[in-house]
Structure 1
Amino acid sequence: MAEEDNDPIAEAIKALRAQAQAIPAGDAGPPGVRLAIDNEPELLRIVEALLFAASEPLDLDTLRARLPDDTDVRGLINALQAKYADAGVNLVEVGGRWRFQTAEDLGWLLRTEREEPRKLSQAALETLAIIAYHQPVTRAEIEEIRGVAVSRGTLDQLLEMKWIRLRGRRRTPGRPVTYGVTDVFMDYFGLANLSDLPGVSDLKAAGLLSSRLPPDFSIPSAGHVLPDADEDLFSEDEAAQFHMDFLEGDEPED
């Protein structure tokens, strides 16, 4: 019996237990010693299961309500954090609550890209259709076809969506800017070429075009629209600069 009392391992355990008992109960003190002496693996499993099954992060009080009285919840949390530190999921604190989430360095595996639909106004739909079917077209020509003014906001929205682009300037008085659709527009609507666009009658029936179309309005031939003989095309830098200048103005929506 005397040999047992002098066993250094037994003495170390007794010293650790005495130290743990001297630490305040709950989460007020350092968790390390209390965890080593008081907490059982089963408690870790319970907390682990609760956090995995939860649909939202859990706070310490919620976890404590499911555990025996005087359980060192903070110590269990720290133990689980250490356990999952190098795993594919980590235990992290979010706004004072805890949850498991994918390790930060593996986030790219679960990242997905999705397109958020952006509803176009009737004015934008009509303007887009006119540009698609009658490019290269100027703003004045769009207004003549629609019968109403085209606001900067309408054209700006289509430019920002990259469905239309600035093509160049007409060699006519005032040097008006011309517009055309982009490859992004073609790809979004699954068009191999412009001849795949719906007929004018279909667009009229859908209410996307005014019935007041000029006699010379026609659908472009297949393939990309070729440069107009009376049009000076923009370079990419010129188009970008004009777009910036264009955005400086402010007009009411139509």
Structure 2
Amino acid sequence: MTDTQHLHLAEMSKHIEVLLHASEAPLTAHNLKKHLSVSSKDLKQALALLQQRLDTGVLSLHETASGYRLQIADSYSGLIQRVFPQRQERLSQALLETLSVIAYKQPVTRSDIEHVRGVTLSSNILRQLFDKGWIEEKGYKETLGRPALLHTTPQFLDAFGLNHLDELPPMPDMAAIKALS
């Protein structure tokens, strides 16, 4: 790479950083290429250069299902939680269990969730998940009553820092867990 190319990529990486700071939502590679009028190869190199530069600071470049975003490095999470405790969102056990069933078994119906969890599903839990934009209805099951099929959304992936559902940790062996009890 020539010095001129390196300067061009260095400047492009700064433009990417500015756009990511100014954006309220992650930016896709497609959007970045369009706004900066660059090739995929140059964008990839500029993103790598930006990541190198950020590695010495407190921000990191993170890619989620919705695109690229800047976020505070994980090593500072303790400080943020101590200074801004109201930012910590407590998710109930029931909400996490429900979300897990949807994420791992989708598409699922409300009755499928109740069967897996062994308890009646509160409408409030589903409402919270819909309000957060973490789940959505996509189609209906071809059975009596045609119940809605629930799926996770890109916002769910973003909230948990994932690009794809296959990045979820492996499903625990519930029989082994129950045997430990």
TM interval, shorter chain, is 0.3 to 0.5
Q: Please report the TM-score for the alignment, with normalisation by the length of structure 1.
A: 0.34
Q: Please report the TM-score for the alignment, with normalisation by the length of structure 2.
A: 0.47
More helix by share: 2
Which structure has the greater CA radius of gyration? 1
